[in-house]
Chains A and B, each alone.
Chain A
Amino acid sequence: MKISEAYKWEAEKRDGTIITKGGNLQDCVRFSLLPQINLPKQDIIGIPMIRRFGRGFLRQNFQTTEMLPGFLHWQNGSNQIKTENDLTDIVTPGRLIKKRHDGEKWWLVIDVKPDLITILKPYDGKTKRIETRIYIVPPKPEYLHCVVCKGFRLYVKSSDGTVLITPENYELNL
């Protein structure tokens, strides 16, 4: 599911009419964000509303991998890799690492200590002290639903349902 569809919205006019399209909320007495996945439902009731809009954020990187500082000691048949630098701030369980060259396999990290990285499966390859790359997690998109009310704005993040309340004219960018 696209993140922009994690919530559907509807608004109720004074005469009971339900609208699901458009941006004008001036005649509305209720605005609801209806979760399509496991997110909290959000309702705005009893507050003068002005308009609504969605705000999308797409991202792209300029790199796919980063080189880790120092050298790592890859040893054939072992799932433990000695490090020459403390990489605990950079490498965490769940990240992928590989020897520096193109065509090398990625290995899943399951534990990190100041001088040792443990990977899920034993490394099978040439024993070598070599520079090592870490895979950069691709940046995720985000989508905000915004309701402009008299005196404030309410932004709701589609990724986790977080509600952010700002001044009426504040343009939130993530």
Chain B
Amino acid sequence: MAATLQIHEMSALTTGTDKTSGTVRFKDADNATVDTNNPLSVPAAGSIYSYTKQLRVKMTDPPDTSVSNLRWYTDGGNTFGTGIGVVVFNRGTDWIANYKTQMATSADLFGYVSAATAFDGDVTDTGPFLPADDDSYIGDLIQLQMSVASTAPHRTLTAETLTLAYDEI
């Protein structure tokens, strides 16, 4: 039987909400609820930052043999628009409570694209992941944050998609 994996938005190292084919909304609050509350407002000067988001993969059905090669990527095009960015950092298995100050270490999420340079998702918690890992979180915590600069227009953002790819045998 093929494995079942899910993308979870984490509220602790091993606690999360399934967001597979769902939505992670960057907001000015620390929760996984998808609504229009706590929007990120364009500042008069400088930049503001969303609360960080942390994603991790959960195995909910085991593979026949193993799952490996977890990698995250985008289409490479930031259509959020002027003044709006999303950065990413691999936290390994080092859970930290979400915060809304600027992430100290990070890279542009949209620099990770499928054909060239996907973001490696199993650097610390390395694969292959086995049937014994069923019903547990696998791979690393992927931390994300949105920034909104004063140059951003006032509007609702267009959609962007984050993809997780994995291999299994």
Asked if A126 is at the interface (CB within 8 A of a chain B CB), the reply is: no
Asked if B23 is at the interface (CB within 8 A of a chain A CB), the reply is: yes
**Contact present for A22 and B65 (CB under 8 Å):** yes
B68 to chain A, nearest CB (A): 9
**Contact present for B23 and A66 (CB under 8 Å):** no
**Contact present for B21 and A138 (CB under 8 Å):** yes
**Contact present for B169 and A61 (CB under 8 Å):** no
In the assembled complex, which residues on chain A have CB atoms less than 8 Å from the CB atom of B2? 2, 4-5, 54, 56, 143
Q: Give Cα A109 to B4, complex, Å.
A: 34
In the assembled complex, which residues on chain B have CB atoms less than 8 Å from the CB atom of A133? 156
How many of B's residues come within 8 Å of A, CB to CB? 40
Task: Give 1 or 0 for each of A13-31: 1 = CB within 8 Å of chain B CB.
Answer: 0000000011100000000
B-side interface mostly = loop
In the assembled complex, which residues on chain B have CB atoms less than 8 Å from the CB atom of A5? 1-2
**Contact present for B158 and A66 (CB under 8 Å):** yes
Asked if B94 is at the interface (CB within 8 A of a chain A CB), the reply is: no
Task: Give 1 or 0 for each of B139-169: 1 = CB within 8 Å of chain A CB.
Answer: 0000000000000000111111111111111
**Nearest neighbor of A65 in chain B, beta-carbon distance:** B156
Q: Which of A53, A136, A174 contacts B168 (CB 8 A)?
A: A53
In the assembled complex, which residues on chain A have CB atoms less than 8 Å from the CB atom of B4? 2, 4
**Contact present for B168 and A56 (CB under 8 Å):** yes
**With A4-B4, A138-B21, A141-B21: A59-B161 Cβ-Cβ less than 8 Å:** yes
Q: Give Cα A138 to B21, complex, Å.
A: 5
**With A4-B2, A66-B159, A136-B159: A61-B165 Cβ-Cβ less than 8 Å:** no
Q: Give Cα A93 to B41, complex, Å.
A: 33
Q: Give Cα A54 to B167, complex, Å.
A: 6
In the assembled complex, which residues on chain B have CB atoms less than 8 Å from the CB atom of A38? none
Asked if B20 is at the interface (CB within 8 A of a chain A CB), the reply is: yes
In the assembled complex, which residues on chain A have CB atoms less than 8 Å from the CB atom of B160? 61-63
**Contact present for B164 and A58 (CB under 8 Å):** yes
**Contact present for B21 and A59 (CB under 8 Å):** yes
**Contact present for B167 and A67 (CB under 8 Å):** no
In the assembled complex, which residues on chain B have CB atoms less than 8 Å from the CB atom of A65? 156
In the assembled complex, which residues on chain A have CB atoms less than 8 Å from the CB atom of B6? 58
Q: Give Cα A26 to B134, complex, Å.
A: 29
Q: Which B residues between 1 and 39 are near A, CB-CB below 8 angstroms?
A: 1-7, 19-26, 34-36
Q: Give Cα A4 to B26, complex, Å.
A: 30
**Contact present for B163 and A59 (CB under 8 Å):** yes
**Nearest neighbor of A4 in chain B, beta-carbon distance:** B2
Q: Give Cα A5 to B1, complex, Å.
A: 8
Q: Give Cα A102 to B161, complex, Å.
A: 23
In the assembled complex, which residues on chain A have CB atoms less than 8 Å from the CB atom of B104? none
**With A21-B65, A54-B167, A67-B155: A62-B162 Cβ-Cβ less than 8 Å:** yes
Q: Give me 11 A-to-B residue pairs in the complex whose CB atoms sit less than 8 angstroms apart, sorted by A's number.
A: A22-B65, A53-B168, A54-B2, A55-B167, A55-B168, A61-B24, A61-B159, A62-B159, A63-B23, A63-B159, A66-B158
